[in-house]
Chains A and B, each alone.
Chain A
Amino acid sequence: MNPRRKKRMMALLAVVFGLGSAIGLVLYALQGNINLFYTPTELIEGKGPENQKPFVGQKLRIGGMVVPGSVKRAPDSLHVEFKLMDKGPIVKILYKGILPDLFREGQGIVAQGNLIAPDTIEAFEVLAKHDEEYMPPEVAEALKGIKHEKPVYNNVKGDY
């Protein structure tokens, strides 16, 4: 091989090696960070054609409507629990911390956390969208056909 070809060969090898390791790293990083989305029904009854259920300990996201009257605050800490539903089954969410401004009973929210029992999630993040009429698309899809309860503003005001 003449020197010039050798140089090109080396450059090519370097590119291939760089690209390969980059793709490897990306896939590796993706593996641990893809969170599947479930609705309460999918969580309880399984998702997709194979009725695939998440295993206890899995990190996931769940979206649904906060069941009216289900929000319970602990008297002396920031622990809170509430129930989430879409079409039928109800899932319990445990959370410690401050709920977002737009969190209301009867409103769609998305929680991210770990499944600690088949119907209980310990959330480390609760998201409500910055739009009072907003519904996460997945939730809206799941709720299709059932009546969506609109939040009643007067009640919220009464708390203050």
Chain B
Amino acid sequence: MIPELGYISLTIALGLSILLCIYPLWGAYTNNLRLMRAAPALAIGQCVFVFISYAALVYASLTDDFTLVYVASNSSSSLPWYYKITSTWGGHEGAMLLWVVMQAGWTALVSISSKSLPWPLRARVLGVLGFLGVGFMFYTLLMSSPFESLLPYYPVEGHDLNPLLQDPGMIIHPPLLYMGYVGLSVSFSFAIAALLTGKLDNTWAKWSRPWTISAWLFLTLGIALGSWWAYSELGWGGWWFWDPVENASLMPWLIATALLHSLAATEKRGVFKSWTVLLAIAGFSFSLLGTFIVRSGVLVSVHAFTTDPGRGMFILGFLAIVVGGSLALYAMRASAVSSPGRYRLFSREVALWLNNILLCVATLIVLLGTLLPLVHKELGMGSISIGEPFFNEMFSYLLVPFAFALGVAPLLRWKQNKFNALKNKLLLIGLLSIVITASWLYSSYDVVSSMTFIAVLLAVWVTISTIFDVVERATKQTSLIVGLKQFTNSYWAMVSGHFGFACVVMSVALTSAYSVERDVRMMPGETVTLNEYVYRFDGIKEIVGANYTGHAAMVSIHKEGEKVTKLYAEKRLYNVGMQFMTEAAIDASLGRDLYVALGEQLNNGAWALRIYHKPYIRWMWLGGLIMSFAGLLILLDKRYRGTSKVPQKHKDSNNASQPVASGEVS
């Protein structure tokens, strides 16, 4: 009964979103206010019914309703209740329904908080969101309904949730990523609405910016969490594999990062307008492309979702309509939104422009590396794979100009700068960075490769120039403390975003260069020494969990005779699916991670163990968090919280955002 209710609710929601797609857009076209006014109610109604539908699926999963194909294949009665809830997005059909839930949620949120928007724009934004909702709901209902029934013959026990997904990190990772993917659809709708309206000014950028930043924030958190999960859960200590599914999330992130930089320029200076619109279109298109890659199974991936060519074709068709339609519209209308801004070679505009170009090149490289195997195969030239080294190499090349420009950019002012005024500052920062990097690396490590040196140098360069800029701006007119308090959130966001990026670069460079990884065969009582840490294998213990049994290796770690910690590295066998899972044991700290994973049992009571020493790896996820914090700072900015009540003038936004930067360097 309940599952049928879920199905019916989803159908009703589809009906409402069809109306949401037609009424407001038609109303905006014919300038009929009554039709436009229907949009918010429709958006909220659609959202309510989608939520009912999702609640029905959660209920079915919690009550072990194995008459549903979805519940029977993704859950089991012995699963703890919280994993029963998360199993609703552990499989393809449920994940798509979650996608629809988020789409509806974002749409409702936009309709609530867009009261200050002029009706034609508001109606168009909601109409475009409605159109996207129609696409995804059709897909869910026709191609991948989680409410499909097994009646009259159904199993008494479910197939269990994939043990890899039975982890706290996995509870929030997919929803975060989906929030990001779907959130980009709001920026997309704003862009399409601007093209339809033919009006794109600073106010538009100001409205669109918080949505883009929220989407970016969720994507950043989702990717960081996914990387952390892969590291701690997959049992081989890797944190990024350049797997097609990871690439699918990285591409929208890169574009979204470019977009929020170009939006800042559009908001503050009114430049890059048509480019911003193009990026907003590209961002969501890459989200869709990612879905296509993940769901269609055209590419081999470690994320083994059940795949189906029919589904792939549907998404590909939808992708073609969305991308083709929006690009056609862009081609027709982009001239209406072009921007007249003038600026010189040494200006912040050019720095942002460079940032955008490099981020787009990075996206194209990921796209190429991800799709080339597919093209190669379709052309009948055989299956190939493009290895990690390709991506690593390309990203190292890109990092150099990107991080260098990132260090210069904050020091640049809008419009133009004199090079001479900058030269001395840059020389000073550069020298300081080299000294710091050299003394740090050569005092800590015996061998320093040039790649590692350059990467760490760039991270230090970005950090120092950011600090330099903070101090310089703060002390310009007043004392340091007073000056620091005068900065806006938007400025702090830039500082924190760039600092987070520096942390990630530093961590990636040092972890890649100085990780020690060793697979060893150990008898109980034996020891292994890695980077001054002595690992002793104390023996094996049997473990029994709620739905698994297994073994835990007890490994005690000593450094210079003193006990550091005792780790329990587990190997679990999940009862229902009979699947093995490695649960690595990690002793984490800012300076290093000690990582132990249990391999298979060998003869004579010996076991295979994987022992890793990973320096500075925590800084990678910490950096991700610091970057997301930047997004949060902008969202908390008064200017955006005020938008729903008081429509502000541009003058205000210009002054508020750049109180210190307004003094041009002359």
A-side residues, CB < 8 A to B, are: 22, 25-26, 29-30, 32-37, 47-48, 61, 73, 75-78, 96-99, 101-102, 112, 127, 129-132, 134, 136-138, 153, 156-157, 159-160
Contact = CB atoms under 8 A, between A and B. Distances in A.
Nearest to B301: A129
A138 B385 CA distance: 12
Given A102-B579, A131-B162, A61 B385 contact: yes
Pick the most buried of A97, A99, A136, A138: most chain B CB atoms within 10 A of its CB.
Answer: A97
Given A33-B389, A102-B579, A130-B162, A73 B602 contact: yes
B512 to A, nearest CB: 17
A73 to B, nearest CB: 6
A47 B382 contact: yes
Contact of B519 (A37, A76, A98, A132): A98
B603 A75 contact: yes
Contact of B608 (A78, A112, A129, A160): A78
B304 interface: yes
Given A136-B300, A160-B551, A30 B390 contact: yes
Interface of B: 162, 164, 235, 300, 302-304, 361, 365, 368, 372, 382-387, 389-390, 393-394, 397, 519-521, 551, 571, 573, 577-582, 597, 599-603, 608, 610
A130 B300 CA distance: 12
Nearest to A61: B385
Nearest to B298: A137
B383 A138 contact: yes
Contact of B521 (A25, A77, A137): A77
B581 A101 contact: yes
Contacts of B521: 76-78
A131 B304 contact: yes
B387 A78 contact: no
Contact of A33 (B303, B365, B387, B520): B387
Interface of B is mostly: mixed
Nearest to B306: A131
A132 B601 contact: no
A37 to B, nearest CB: 4
A102 B235 CA distance: 12
A137 B309 CA distance: 13
Nearest to A48: B382
Contacts of B602: 73
A34 B391 CA distance: 11
A23 B603 CA distance: 52
B600 A99 contact: yes
A32 B601 contact: no
B581 A22 contact: no
Nearest to A151: B578
Nearest to B381: A48
Contacts of B383: 36-37, 138
Contacts of B372: 30
Contacts of A26: 365, 368, 394
A130 B397 contact: no
A142 B528 CA distance: 43
Contacts of A61: 385
A61 B551 CA distance: 33
B483 to A, nearest CB: 38
